[in-house]
Structure 1
Amino acid sequence: MGTVESVAPHEIRVSLDLDAPQAVALNAGEPQRFPRINGFVLIPNEIGSVVGIVTWLGVERSPFPKRTGLRDFGLVDLPYPLRKLTLVPLGTLKSRVVGETLVYELQRGVASFPSVGDPVSLPTAAQLRALVEARDVDRRVTIGHSPLGADARVSVDPDKLFGRHLAVLGNTGSGKSCSVAGLIRWSLEDAAAARVDKSKPVNARFIVLDPNGEYRRTFEDLGQVRLFEVVGGQIAESEKPKAQPLRVPAWMWDSHEWAAFAQAAPATQRPLLLQGLRNMRSGAILESGPALRLARMVGGHRVLLRDRVASVPAYTGRYKGAKDCGIQLDAFAEGLERYRGEIPAAEGELDALIGGIQSATASRRNEWTPPGENRPVVSFDDFSEGALEDVLVLIDKLLATLPSPHPLGGSNEDAPIEFDPTELAGHLEVLAGSAEFAQAAAWAGTLLLRVRSMLADSRVGPIAAPPQDITLAQWLEDYLGLPDGSNGSIAVLDLSLVPAEVLHLVIAVLSRLIFEALQRYRRLNGVELPTALVLEEAHTFVQRYLPDETISLAGRQCRETFERIAREGRKFGLGLVLSSQRPSELSPTVLAQCNTFLLHRLVNDQDQQLVARLVPDNLGGLLRELPSMPSQQAILLGWATPVPVLVEMRHLPKEQRPHAADPQFWGVWTGSEKREAGWEPVITDWTGDSG
């Protein structure tokens, strides 16, 4: 079909013969389209054939070709259009005879480059299949066929695909989510077919972190799919598979995740938080009794009053937040009244504190009843610094008579030991009132407020502090699966209703717990428990760090968790599957650890440039087809395939696809698609108010 015109390590130029095929080649055993971008050609040599992939084709003006045996040599050299190709060398195709069959094998790398004038030929159908299809030992899961490789099956080895991390990249609507769902489904189906009894795979584990709720019904027909969702939401009848409540109890969080949740300042609030976690995990707050409850309440008010004293302007000596301060002191005195007569050892100091508070508020209280109102209005004049200090002195005298657990010591703050998260804020109040944390007392108020308000949030509470108790063993059996895999191979975690404030944190905790459980499993058993962790919308949770951008503590924690999994997960049997439509926003650390890429259509220039750097320099031209690729087609490259190959993914029926279809504007406008226009159910679901 042509001859080699020039040779370089990264590029081979070919001049096509005049009678080379124009559109379809019939001389390769079977009709095949030629020439075509990303098509394969062979250049025979002494050890086999150099395999080249077409990256450019065109027409150039050249001297009229001198054909041997014809009287063309005396003609004047005039410009003549000749078709030419540019190839990128991929490897060497070798042949051997097995029995009576000629078998071809692809060897990566070129040991012997061609010379100028060497003939170039089209591969036969058998040679094309050898290029595209994996070796026999790797033909385990069929994911599609190659339009450029005689429709040869494209198969992968799950050990290579999932064991060394996979990135599925592509714009919205390019078929990315369908590919992820297909890879999971086809892996399980082909594994079942390979078993002697054709039964379902044992100990296959896929955990899908689904922030958009796309995979709720995707695997229903496979049976025993564990689905988890946020409780309290109303789900349409068509979206109602049996689901369990999503629970990520706060006692499972480590200290870094708690610090991100509470936004604890490193130098002032975090030491107090860490010591509180140690005490809670060691059971230091299990003591009970009125004296300890009184100490906890008094310590909390001491922290708030100390904050108010610190905010008194030096030039006036008077606190401006008079009304709030007076209301707090009134509530404080009312709370103290309930303990009169219950703690004889502190009765005198308790009476003195109540009297001191009443004296400080009485001289500043103003009451009047507006016209037409039955209830008096209360206001307070400004409180001076001295008045607040007098109350603080009385508080310290009372605290000196009350018991207080020693704040130091305790368990490891990161150990997943069960405790009641709603008790943490109260315990931190006690710690803030102790001598060891006197420096942190002034900064504890905002920390306590954040912890209390977040746990009291009706959207966060059922996730972080669920009403039903669950042990760590039960949680691992539900989310990671039973040790024998008998409760299903797939867990789908629908995170679509998790509040945005804690979504990054929830994903970070889930991923870390799965990773550390598998880490300890291998250390204790000596073998891995293969698990694939699938993260949709990965660019949102594994964000690239930019010096001029700020990222929340929870976002940073989430990124660091996945970077650790990407670096170390393979050693413990945890493989990552990252699905993203913006690879340029992904963490370079995570992308660098992915050894296989399935690339769908990418239009953005930055995304294309980043992806081009993921392949060897001489293969970068293969990816120029990405902006124009149709849906359901992708380029597979990396560890799981011998050569980069264009794949048309296997078809998934509509009921097996993730719920990520494009909105039907025209169908709704024209009435062929019905929609019910009622907002009341939406508001009820949104606010949680069914009354």
Structure 2
Amino acid sequence: MVSELRGGATVIGTVQDVSGTTVSVTLNADRFSALSFINGQGYKIGQIGSFVKIPVGYVDLYGVVSQVGASAVPENAQTVMPNGLRWMTIQLIGEGYRSGRFQRGISQYPTFDDEVHIVSEGDLQAIYGRLDKQNHLVRVGHVAGSESIDALIDINKLVTRHSAVVGTTGSGKSTTVAGLLNVLSDETRFPSARILVLDLHGEYARALGDRAHIFKISPDERKPNEHRLCIPFWALSFDELVRVTFGSLPSDGKARNIILERVQAAKIASLAAQPIVGVDPIDVTADSPIPFSLNKLWHDLYCTEFGTYFSAGGANSGDPATWAYEKDATNAKLVGDAQAGVPPRFRKVKNVQADPEKINYLPDPLNIRPQLEALGARLRVSRYDFLLKAGDWHPDLSGAVTKTLSDLISQWIGNDRPITILDLSGIPSTVTNDIIGNVLRVLYDALFWARNLSEGGRERPLLIVMEEAHTYLNDDCESAASIATQRIVKEGRKYGIGAMIVSQRPSEINSTILSQCGTFFAMRLSNATDRSHVTGALSDNLEGLTSMLPVLRTGEAIILGEAVGLPMRTMIQAPPKDRRPDSQDPLVCDESPPDESMTPGGWNLKNHLAPDYGYFVRTWLQQNPTPPSPEKG
């Protein structure tokens, strides 16, 4: 790695001041031009973000140019201005060795009058590596300004050390993620790749559909790779379940304790009826992912809270035979239907002294009437079917299910395609945060306990891609999604679980989560607050590079961190146009002249199809942009 060119065209200046990893350099006075030629190739001197090297013995120290000109003159030299304004400030980032090895960090520092050299294309190729030499490297594009140099990233460190893709709207962020996932899911190189995408807006089915199974609220039955999204409630921990079903419970804790005991008892009874090999009922808790009937629990609690009973004759108020049900026209009792979520109807309290028929409420209520009414409504409406009526995972009143938890995990991370997309666009926004947290917690727990098995993350790591992360990984540290993600980014590396955080507002992401990301794909960021959060999360002193973020082109990223030898400004290789995420800007005005054969769209096309707002409203009511029944009417 140490260059044999110690002088001549490669020398551009000398070290004058060293402060930690910041080095002040004066440019040589004989450099009348800012352009230098090495082996017939021209190099601009003093470009912000460009690299330089400082030979120190048998080691080359590498740094990035962060300031040039008057702003780079050290304070103690501003009065005398030696060398005029021909100064540069360099941030040291790593060192290279004669063996060809490059490492981040500095073991020694330069001193006065050490020569500063241009980093040539040959040096960059040695640092960044070659695809045909190292199997763990993957190509994601090319270095900006040097198309001959591949932009290679270390897949080992990208996945297990976590990463973040950040960029403002329109910077090409979603396309970059699609390009990365296309590379990482290449079945030729990585036949056992395992990637799960949390897709909040349904953008990635188009881009990755040929190599992914897609789970969504309203799947297209005509597409074999689309399936119904099911997240069974009984796979959640007790606290998670309470949040998405009952909501806030009375602060005295009585209701919570009774519900916890009933859930645990229901799971134990279900396990006794449908035994699971190796699972002892004595080990079952309210957090155990054992199927049980939430509908029956709700129905029983509803009777306890709303039920009235005939008190004459000393009847036992706990005996359903004594309950005062209303009756329909056929004199049948309106006892409700637990499995359908239909509540029973009880007669009103009647305790008039002269009336021999006395009707009272059941004693000792839990004071959770609003919560039970809200849960009953959720059991009856289809918006929550993905959770409360999860297809083959929905228990009957005895707790029996058609498919088990192993079937669910196998669908998500053990299917025959490298990518699984959980399309969460149809989930009610009020529970999105909780559902994401529940999914992440289930995956973490599963891979944690299976860490020594062939299906575990140590032998076959899992990459979890979290789109629009700022909407659920904000500074609310108590949210389910934030808690689960913090656990993954802090401890997931040991168990083969990696996270890729994707966001247009990194300043809104919890700082603990962002700081654990070892690699950044920083795209155009115009907001100063967002840029400062990215800079603060980096382990290197790279203000010179991050100051370039506002002027990056669409599809261009600065890749920094552990997955690359040196930070590099990169043009990410985008997928073909017909395989990009469904996140492109709508066309307002076509740049080419209108043509009758063109697909209708934009404001300048005259022959637009006759509007059909009946179908328009149908897609809205079905909560499905492409409903399977396109008949008009």
TM-score range, shorter chain: 0.7 to 0.9
Q: Does 1:13 align with 2:13?
A: no
Q: Equivalences for 1:205-604 in 2 at 5 Å?
A: 205-222=194-211, 225-231=212-218, 242-261=225-244, 262-265=246-249, 267-283=253-269, 300=302, 303-304=305-306, 332=326, 338=332, 390-392=358-360, 438=364, 441-468=365-392, 469-482=402-415, 487-524=416-453, 527-545=458-476, 556-604=479-527
Q: Could you list the per-position Cα deviations for residues 65-99 of structure 1 after superposition, in whole angstroms to 9, with x for gaps in the alignment?
A: xxxxxxxxxxxx99985432211122333324xxx
| Deviation of 1:2 (Å) | 2.4
Q: Does 1:116 align with 2:39?
A: no
Structure 2 unmatched runs, 5+: 1-11, 74-79, 274-294, 309-322, 335-345, 393-401, 591-601, 624-628
Instruction: Provide the residue aligned with 1:682 in structure 2.
Output: 616
Structure 1's 609 and 593: CA in aligned 2 closer, same or farther, altered over 3 A? Answer: same
Distance 2:135 2:185 in 1: 16
Q: Does 1:186 align with 2:183?
A: yes
Count of aligned pairs between the two proteins: 536
Q: Could you list the per-position Cα deviations for residues 126-161 of structure 1 after superposition, in whole angstroms to 9, with x for gaps in the alignment?
A: 112223337954752111222266742221221110
Distance 1:83 1:628 in 2: 25
Whether contact under 8 Å (2:213, 2:420) holds in the other structure is yes
Once structures 1 and 2 are overlaid, which stretch shifts more, 250-259 or 138-147? Answer: 138-147
| Deviation of 1:671 (Å) | 1.6
Distance 1:215 1:53 in 2: 36
Whether contact under 8 Å (1:529, 1:572) holds in the other structure is no
Instruction: Provide the residue aligned with 2:192 in structure 1.
Output: 203
| Deviation of 1:21 (Å) | 6.4
Whether contact under 8 Å (1:134, 1:641) holds in the other structure is no
Q: Equivalences for 1:113-152 in 2 at 5 Å?
A: 113-133=109-129, 136-137=133-134, 140-147=137-144, 151-152=148-149
Distance 1:296 1:617 in 2: 54
Distance 2:566 2:296 in 1: 72
Whether contact under 8 Å (1:94, 1:105) holds in the other structure is yes
Instruction: Provide the residue aligned with 1:55 in structure 2.
Output: 66
Q: Secondary structure at the match of 1:669?
A: coil
Distance 2:296 2:96 in 1: 82
| Deviation of 1:171 (Å) | 0.9
Q: Does 1:620 align with 2:543?
A: yes
Distance 1:27 1:294 in 2: 79
Whether contact under 8 Å (1:529, 1:573) holds in the other structure is yes
Q: Secondary structure at the match of 1:6?
A: strand
| Deviation of 1:540 (Å) | 1.0
* Letter of the structure 2 residue corresponding to residue 20 of structure 1: R
Structure 1's 512 and 109: CA in aligned 2 closer, same or farther, altered over 3 A? Answer: closer
Distance 2:297 2:159 in 1: 55
Whether contact under 8 Å (1:144, 1:650) holds in the other structure is yes
Q: Does 1:637 align with 2:570?
A: no
| TM-score, normalised via structure 2 length | 0.75
Structure 1's 598 and 335: CA in aligned 2 closer, same or farther, altered over 3 A? Answer: farther
Q: Could you list the per-position Cα deviations for residues 156-176 of structure 1 after superposition, in whole angstroms to 9, with x for gaps in the alignment?
A: 221110011111111111121
Distance 2:448 2:105 in 1: 36
Which residue, out of 44, 47, 50, partners 1:36? Answer: 47
Q: Secondary structure at the match of 1:142?
A: strand
Structure 1's 298 and 39: CA in aligned 2 closer, same or farther, altered over 3 A? Answer: closer
Q: Secondary structure at the match of 2:549?
A: helix
Distance 1:285 1:481 in 2: 25
Q: Secondary structure at the match of 1:283?
A: helix
Whether contact under 8 Å (1:210, 1:535) holds in the other structure is yes
| Deviation of 1:304 (Å) | 2.8
| Deviation of 1:565 (Å) | 1.8
* Letter of the structure 2 residue corresponding to residue 192 of structure 1: T
| Deviation of 1:120 (Å) | 2.4
Structure 1's 21 and 637: CA in aligned 2 closer, same or farther, altered over 3 A? Answer: farther
Q: Secondary structure at the match of 2:408?
A: helix
| Deviation of 1:661 (Å) | 0.7
| Deviation of 1:595 (Å) | 1.5
Q: Secondary structure at the match of 1:281?
A: helix
Q: Could you list the per-position Cα deviations for residues 331-374 of structure 1 after superposition, in whole angstroms to 9, with x for gaps in the alignment?
A: 6365996369xxxxxxxxxxxx98x96786999xxxxxxxxxxx
Distance 2:390 2:296 in 1: 27
Whether contact under 8 Å (1:142, 1:156) holds in the other structure is yes
* Letter of the structure 1 residue corresponding to residue 536 of structure 2: R
Q: Secondary structure at the match of 2:410?
A: helix
Whether contact under 8 Å (1:521, 1:528) holds in the other structure is no
Distance 2:561 2:485 in 1: 21
Instruction: Provide the residue aligned with 1:85 in structure 2.
Output: 88
Distance 1:673 1:173 in 2: 29
Whether contact under 8 Å (2:29, 2:83) holds in the other structure is no
* Letter of the structure 2 residue corresponding to residue 256 of structure 1: D
Q: Secondary structure at the match of 2:575?
A: coil
Whether contact under 8 Å (1:264, 1:270) holds in the other structure is no
Distance 1:61 1:155 in 2: 32
| Deviation of 1:188 (Å) | 2.7
Instruction: Provide the residue aligned with 2:159 in structure 1.
Output: 162
Structure 1's 459 and 361: CA in aligned 2 closer, same or farther, altered over 3 A? Answer: farther
| Deviation of 1:13 (Å) | 1.9
Structure 1's 361 and 505: CA in aligned 2 closer, same or farther, altered over 3 A? Answer: farther
Once structures 1 and 2 are overlaid, which stretch shifts more, 277-286 or 469-478? Answer: 277-286
| Deviation of 1:463 (Å) | 4.1
| Deviation of 1:294 (Å) | 13
Q: Secondary structure at the match of 1:141?
A: strand
Q: CA RMSD in A?
A: 3.8
| TM-score, normalised via structure 1 length | 0.69
Whether contact under 8 Å (1:39, 1:54) holds in the other structure is yes
Identity of aligned residues (%): 28
| Deviation of 1:600 (Å) | 1.0
* Letter of the structure 1 residue corresponding to residue 60 of structure 2: S
| Deviation of 1:614 (Å) | 1.5
Distance 2:509 2:67 in 1: 31
Q: Secondary structure at the match of 2:66?
A: strand
Structure 1's 671 and 362: CA in aligned 2 closer, same or farther, altered over 3 A? Answer: farther
* Letter of the structure 1 residue corresponding to residue 200 of structure 2: P
Q: Could you list the per-position Cα deviations for residues 491-536 of structure 1 after superposition, in whole angstroms to 9, with x for gaps in the alignment?
A: 1121111221232232222222222221222245585431111110
Structure 1's 112 and 274: CA in aligned 2 closer, same or farther, altered over 3 A? Answer: closer
Q: Looking at CA atoms only, which structure, 1 or 2, has the larger radius of gyration?
A: 1
Structure 1's 154 and 460: CA in aligned 2 closer, same or farther, altered over 3 A? Answer: same
Structure 1 unmatched runs, 5+: 63-76, 97-103, 194-200, 288-292, 307-328, 341-352, 364-386, 397-432, 547-554
Q: Secondary structure at the match of 1:218?
A: helix
Q: Could you list the per-position Cα deviations for residues 267-324 of structure 1 after superposition, in whole angstroms to 9, with x for gaps in the alignment?
A: 243223222322322237999xxxxx99998974562379xxxxxxxxxxxxxxxxxx
